[in-house]
Structure 1
Amino acid sequence: MQYTDIAIIGGGLAGSTAAAMLGRAGIPSLLIDPHQVYPFDFRVEKLGGDAQLERFEKTGIAESVLRSATHDGENWIARFGHLLDKTPSRQFGIMYDALVSAIRAEIVPPAEFICAKVTKVATSAERQTLVLSRGETVSARLIVLANGLNVGLRRMLGIERQLVSACHSISIGFDLVPVGRAAFPFPAMTYFSERPSDRIPYLTLFPVEQRMRANLFTYRQADDPWLRAMRREPVKTLNAALPRLHRITGDFDIAGDIRIRPADLHVSTGYQQAGIVLVGDAFATTCPVSGTGSDKVFADVAQLCNVHIPAWLATDGMGADKIATFYDDPVKKACDAWSNAKAFNFRSVSIDTGLYWKAQRWARFLAYYGGGLRRRLRKAISSDAKVRAHSSSSSSSSLSSSA
């Protein structure tokens, strides 16, 4: 039997980040996942925004991990075929498998990685027992369940998932290629839907290494014929849905595979147990449209590894009362509530046809337009001031030479 303080089940974003943090903190940990090298998975493909990056920085590994990502530097905002603003951007494009690999590279002893599948789990208020597919047994003080949407182990422990919103949204991923030009004119772009009837909140374009990656989001059912059309004739279908997009992008083609991923919103029930704590999607799923999934992961893991696990290990036992302090953590609860509210708000502002939501859409359009106008005016004033200063400097130099 192998002994450790923390056994982490699931080596995706949440589990690998937890292992990297615990290793750096000197806490003996085992990260257990059946994939030695994480396979392709159509999930998080971009990290960005000040709030999200601040949450990532609290893990202590953000700076080194983001060296493997592609920074765009500037994001264009557009709607109705019109460029509204060019905003400074802290977006970093990286495919999910590459992101997980970069995080796993930060795992140091006493944290270790075990390539295996957990087949059985038994929990108690003292120590937890895990049986691995290779035949080994692991004894840990705490289990961190970070295995995403997998339900087998949860059901073994009496933890179920409650459906909140079936097929809340669908994400579509592909590579966009310019036709007749070497590159697109923008470093990155967010293009908002032109009409609610298209059931598309926005298309986001961002660089990943040398290619332009596209994430298109839609609010449809998984069997909607539109999705089949998107697979068969992606360029034609996208142009029909966003008919003025080409004014900004120019002619384009779609290269490679088209990935389609429906997202259900779930919350876990029966999770307040001794010896085990759930993080990330294992606790509650998020809507990819809102872009808050990574926020929830980083908030969960940072609070768990920076605050709660060190406190729990300082005293004997691992009872349910200890574990409850994590679920009651005000930082975690605030992030969960914000993420859930944003999922439903984004859906309503994108497709609802009531006067309130129509006003919200126009308010956002005008806000982006006004922000872009102010930015252009400031830039013009700054350029004019530099020209005047240079002219004044040149005149003074000429007078000195004449004298």
Structure 2
Amino acid sequence: MRQTDIAIIGGGLAGSTAAAMLGRAGVSAILIEPHRLHPPELRCEKIGGQPQIDRLAKTGLLDAVFDAATHDHEIWLARFGRVIDKRPSQQHGFLYETLVNTVRGEIPSSVETIHAKAVSIRTSDDRQTIGLSTGEDISARLVVLANGASVGLRDQLKIGRPVISACHSISVGFDIAPKDRDTFEFPALTYFAEATRHRTAYLTLFPIGATMRGNLFVYREANDPWVRAMRRTPEAALDECLPKLRALIGDYTISGDVKIRPIDLYESDNVVQPGIVLVGDAFASPCPGSGCGTDKVFTDVVQLCSVHIPNWLASPGMGAEKIGQYYSDPLKLECDAWAKKKAFTLRAVTLENSLYWRMQRWIRFFGRLGEGIVRRARETLPGELALVGCALVVMSVPAM
């Protein structure tokens, strides 16, 4: 039986990041993952915004990830068939499998990777035993469960996964190209929904290498006829939910495999148990449209690997009182609550027609429009005129 301090089950973004961080810190760790290379999967396909970049930087993996990504530099914001702002962008795009395999490449050789499936687990206040599909057992002081939505091991430990919002949203990923011309006019584009009846939050288009990638976020049932249409006639389905898009960006074609992923929001319970912690999607699912998935992963892993594991390994045992410190970590609690709030706010602002939510949509629209006008004024007008124009715009935008 192989012995280690930390056994990580699952080599997706959370598990691979944890393996890289622990290995660099000199902690004895083993990563258990059946796939030598992460297979194609529709999950996070870009990182952007300073808070998200700061969270990535804390993992020590920022340079490697950005070297494998495509920076779009500028993004256009649009609604109602018109561009309302062109702003500098910190977005870096990549396919999810590229992201995960890049992070795996940063795992030090001191961390052994076992290509097998974890099929059983026994926990205690001291050491944990993991049974592998190869027939081998691994003994560890702590198990980091990072196997996403898989339920087999959690069922053995009686860890529940109550659903907070069934089919909360649907994410769609595809490649898009201009028709009868070489490139789109925009470097990257976010197009916001035009009306609640379209049940669409937004479409974001961004480059990955020489390919323009599309991520679309809608609120429909998994068996909605529109979902089938998106697979069979994606251009017509996209026109249906964003009718004025084509007039703005020109004729286009959608090529390759259209990936569609319905999202249930859930949060695990009965998690404070000796010898095991859950990170990333293994603990709770984010809404991809809210853009919080990587924030949750990096917050979980950084707090666990930088704060809690070093403290836990400094003393004997791995009882529930230690594990509870991770789940009550203030930064983790704050990030989890923020991500959940954003998920429900985005759904409400997309679908609800009460006076409050109609006002929220207009506030967001005029806020973005105002920022665009201010930005253009600063770029084109003399200093004093720009200040006057900016003041007039600010006075005309509704307060939050």
TM-score range, shorter chain: over 0.9
Q: Deviations over 1:293-338 (max 9, x none)?
A: 1100000000000100000000110000001000000000000000
2:142 is matched by which residue type in structure 1?
L
Q: Residue 178 of structure 2 aligns with which residue?
A: 178
Please say if residues 198 and 240 of structure 2, whose CA atoms lie closer than 8 Å, have aligned partners that are also in contact. no
CA distance in 2, matches of 1:152, 1:218: 30
Distance 1:97 1:286, change over 3 A: same
2:93 is matched by which residue type in structure 1?
G
Q: Residue 292 of structure 2 aligns with which residue?
A: 292
1:308-319 matches, cutoff 5 A: 308-319=308-319
Matching of residue 351 in structure 1 with residue 351 in structure 2: yes
Matching of residue 94 in structure 1 with residue 94 in structure 2: yes
Q: Deviations over 1:74-128 (max 9, x none)?
A: 1100000110001111111111111000000000032221111111111001011
Please say if residues 280 and 300 of structure 1, whose CA atoms lie closer than 8 Å, have aligned partners that are also in contact. yes
Please say if residues 146 and 279 of structure 1, whose CA atoms lie closer than 8 Å, have aligned partners that are also in contact. yes
Q: Residue 31 of structure 2 aligns with which residue?
A: 31
Q: Residue 105 of structure 1 aligns with which residue?
A: 105
CA distance in 2, matches of 1:142, 1:69: 33
Compute the displacement of 1:381 (Å): 2.8
Structure with higher Rg: it is 1
Q: Deviations over 1:263-313 (max 9, x none)?
A: 000111111100000000111111111010110000000000010000000
Q: Residue 148 of structure 1 aligns with which residue?
A: 148
Q: Residue 305 of structure 2 aligns with which residue?
A: 305
Under a length normalisation based on structure 1, what TM-score does the superposition of the two structures give? 0.94
CA distance in 2, matches of 1:122, 1:341: 35
Where do 4+ consecutive residues of structure 1 move more than 6 Å?
382-385
Q: Residue 257 of structure 2 aligns with which residue?
A: 257
Q: Secondary structure at the match of 1:257?
A: strand
Compute the displacement of 1:383 (Å): 9.8
CA distance in 1, matches of 2:19, 2:165: 31
1:363-402 matches, cutoff 5 A: 363-381=363-381
Compute the displacement of 1:382 (Å): 6.2
Q: Residue 398 of structure 1 aligns with which residue?
A: none
1:143-292 matches, cutoff 5 A: 143-292=143-292
Q: Secondary structure at the match of 2:341?
A: helix
Q: Residue 401 of structure 1 aligns with which residue?
A: none
Q: Secondary structure at the match of 1:258?
A: strand
Structure 1 unaligned segments of length 5 or more: list them. 386-403
Please say if residues 68 and 94 of structure 1, whose CA atoms lie closer than 8 Å, have aligned partners that are also in contact. yes
CA distance in 2, matches of 1:180, 1:374: 35
Under a length normalisation based on structure 2, what TM-score does the superposition of the two structures give? 0.95
Distance 1:212 1:2, change over 3 A: same
Please say if residues 4 and 29 of structure 1, whose CA atoms lie closer than 8 Å, have aligned partners that are also in contact. yes
1:330 is matched by which residue type in structure 2?
P
Identify which range, 197-206 or 56-65, moves more after superposition: 56-65
Compute the displacement of 1:219 (Å): 0.3
CA distance in 2, matches of 1:241, 1:291: 21
The two structures, once aligned, show a CA RMSD in angstroms of 1.2
Distance 1:81 1:66, change over 3 A: same
CA distance in 1, matches of 2:200, 2:240: 12
CA distance in 2, matches of 1:255, 1:271: 42
Structure 2 unaligned segments of length 5 or more: list them. 386-400
Please say if residues 28 and 109 of structure 1, whose CA atoms lie closer than 8 Å, have aligned partners that are also in contact. no
Matching of residue 7 in structure 1 with residue 4 in structure 2: no
Q: Secondary structure at the match of 1:302?
A: helix
Number of aligned positions between the proteins: 385
CA distance in 2, matches of 1:19, 1:37: 15
Distance 1:118 1:82, change over 3 A: same
CA distance in 2, matches of 1:61, 1:45: 16
Compute the displacement of 1:181 (Å): 1.1
1:195 is matched by which residue type in structure 2?
A
Q: Secondary structure at the match of 2:161?
A: strand
CA distance in 1, matches of 2:241, 2:155: 41
Q: Secondary structure at the match of 1:78?
A: strand
Please say if residues 39 and 97 of structure 1, whose CA atoms lie closer than 8 Å, have aligned partners that are also in contact. yes
Please say if residues 199 and 241 of structure 2, whose CA atoms lie closer than 8 Å, have aligned partners that are also in contact. no
Please say if residues 26 and 109 of structure 1, whose CA atoms lie closer than 8 Å, have aligned partners that are also in contact. no
